[in-house]
Amino acid sequence: MSNMKSTRINGDVPQIRVFSMNCWGLKYIAKHRVARLNEITERIAAATPSHEIVALQEFWVYADYENLRAKTKHILPYGKFYFSGAIGGGLVILSKWPIEQSSMFRYPLNGRPTAFFRGDFYVGKGVACASIRHPSGQVVEVFNTHLHAPYEEKDTYLCHRTAQAWEIAKLLRGAVQKGHVAIGLGDFNMVPSSLAHRIISTHGLVSDSWLSAHPDAPDIPPVTATAVENIAISGITCDSVLNTWRMPGPHIPAENASDPHSKRLDYIFHSPSTSSVQDITVGMTEPMPMPSQKGGKGGAAGVCTLSDHYSVEVLLSLSPNAAQQAALAAARNPEALPKKDLIDVAGPARAEEASLSNQIGEASERRLPLKILDEILAVQKEYTDREKGEYFWRIAHFWASVPVLIACNVAVWWSPHNGVAFALMMLAWVVAVTGTMDGLIGFIFTGSEIRALTEFEEEVRMYRHLVEQRGQAQGSN
């Protein structure tokens, strides 16, 4: 695959080179993990010009982080591996300049414990935060995250992802309002036309770097676009047919092959009031040698793509560019795409989310419109009603199991046969375990989740009231 040319926007200085990538580094599960993450490490170390801020997602194993630090400390002497949840959040930030302050903000809504096979609840997803002092004297606040994926055609996690977008948007907004350079980056598991994207770019007071550089880039790649065009023009980072983890056959297709399902899920957001995009490109597209991989998932003819995602690499100038923002504002109000086209490319779950947000708003929009806020509240209410029902039945199961458990234990004493007694004891064991589990999940998790949902609702309603008041005040002037 040929190297992609980035587009030069302006020549402002000082500058920061920023890199973000989902590395797919799950221990025991991710194939060729050690070799792939080592190759990513070596490419970061050998990059010319060097990256100055690096954010990685799904970098789960601390030994891989130690290898990363050892091989990149000559260009990125400062770093932080963020600890979160039962098995870690998988987030890493490296910097050329000192990290003055760091914190790990965990999302209040982040999956369900019963979906243990997905793991989102147990990794403790959140936002890895780092405050970096640039040599120019400006403070750069970096927010690295990995939002919840849809997983299903009927996206039952839409409310969680929407709430997560709201939370990181608040962090970004706070940094911008302090006059700092805000950078939000990571795997957001959303397409540009999504509700989450609208929340972050509007409520967070930030701009999508790819759209800053390419204001006319399509939200969804055209069906007729080739794989290489999707990378260069649409900035896709996931599900490319040129990625060996996603290719449809045993061999990597040609660069001009059809690529109808590729998506842009990885982003670098920047604060346009303090920075502008000078260069942007999708990177880490070249496969690595993998002689043991003759075919099958992840490999083709002795090569392997570094991850199931590509990287996003941005050169930011630490000064605003009014012309760039004007060009973006003029281009960000496109005609809505037919829902069928969205479903064909992005899938039913992401297409449904796009339909909630009127796909995408204008870049000059700095407050979410009432219609979008009402959509957020509707999503929150639907999910809250579902969870309240689940809470009721789990707690009911717990209390119903108590008399059944007592009855089983009493019946054992009166059983005339050993076999019946044994069956009653087994039944009592099942009732005790399932009742206790549902009680714990209901009382501890679902109860906490409902309170987090209520807090989310009240924040949105407060914001909605403020937007309504300002709208009325502007109308009366």
For 262-300, the pLDDT digits (tens) are 999 999 999 999 999 999 999 999 999 887 666 555 566
Q: Do the beta carbons of residue 176 and residue 205 sit within 8 Å?
A: yes
Paired with 143 in beta bridges are: 129, 184
User: At 267, phi and psi to the nearest 5?
Assistant: -140, 155
- Which range (179-193, 210-224, 343-357) has the least confidence? 343-357
Place of tokens 């929340």: 199
pLDDT number for residue 432:
93
Given pLDDT bands bounded at 50, 70 and 90, which one contains residue 359? very low
Q: Which pLDDT tens digit goes with each residue over 75-125?
A: 999 999 999 878 888 999 999 999 999 999 999 998 888 777 677 878 889
- Of 55, 325, 371, give the one whose Cα is nearest residue 198: 371
Angstrom distance (rounded) from CA 425 to CA 258: 61
Q: Render pLDDT for 192-226 as a digit per residue (tens, 0 to 9).
A: 878 899 899 989 999 999 999 998 888 788 888 89
Give the separation between CA 84 and CA 64, rounded to whole angstroms: 17
Residue 219 CB partners (closer than 8 Å, separation 6+): 191, 192, 193, 334, 337, 354, 359, 360
pLDDT at 215 (0 to 100): 87
**Averaged over 444-451, what is the pLDDT?**
92
Q: Which of 139, 55, 109 is nearest to 383 (CA)?
A: 109
Amino acid at site 283: G
Find the helix or strand (DSSP H, E) in which 448 lies.
helix 447-476
Cis peptide bond N-terminal to 108, omega within 30: no
Q: Which is more confident, 13 or 128?
A: 128
Distance CA 306, CA 254 (A): 18
> For residue 347, what pLDDT band results from cuts at 50, 70 and 90?
low
Count other Cβ atoms within 10 Å, centred on residue 393. 13
User: How many other CB atoms are found less than 10 A from the CB of residue 415?
Assistant: 14
Give 22's Cβ-side CA count (13 Å radius).
23
- What is the average pLDDT value for the chain, to the nearest integer? 86
Whether 357 has a pLDDT exceeding 60, the answer reads: no
> For this structure, is 465 an active site residue?
no
At residue 145, the 3 state secondary structure works out as: strand
User: Is pLDDT at 473 greater than 90 in this prediction?
Assistant: no
Q: Which residues lie across from 128 on neighbouring strands? A: 104, 144
* Cβ atoms of residues 384 and 453 within 8 Å: yes
Residue 7 is predicted with a pLDDT of 39
Distances (CA, A) of 450 to 170, 236, 297, 438: 21, 36, 40, 16
Residue-by-residue DSSP string for 295-360? SSTT-BTTEE-S-SB-EEEEEEESS--HHHHHHHHHHS-PPPPPHHHHHHHHHHHHHHHHHHTTS-
What is the dihedral sign for C-alpha 33, 34, 37, 39?
Answer: negative
- The whole-number pLDDT of residue 267 equals 97
User: Cα-flanking dihedrals φ and ψ of residue 183, to 5°?
Assistant: -130, 115
Q: Which amino acid is at 11?
A: G
- Please state whether beta strands 53-57 and 15-22 pair in parallel, antiparallel, or not at all (unpaired): parallel
DSSP for 85-144? TTT---EEEEESS-EEEEEEEEPS----TT-TTT-HHHHT-EEEEEEEE-TTS-EEEEEE
pLDDT, mean of residues 389-413:
92
The DSSP element (H or E) to which 477 belongs, if any, is none
Which range has the worst mean pLDDT, 128-137, 139-148, 467-476?
Answer: 467-476
Instruction: Determine which one of 309, 397, 417, 465 is catalytic.
Output: 309
Q: Find out whether 296 and 324 touch, Cβ atoms under 8 Å.
A: no
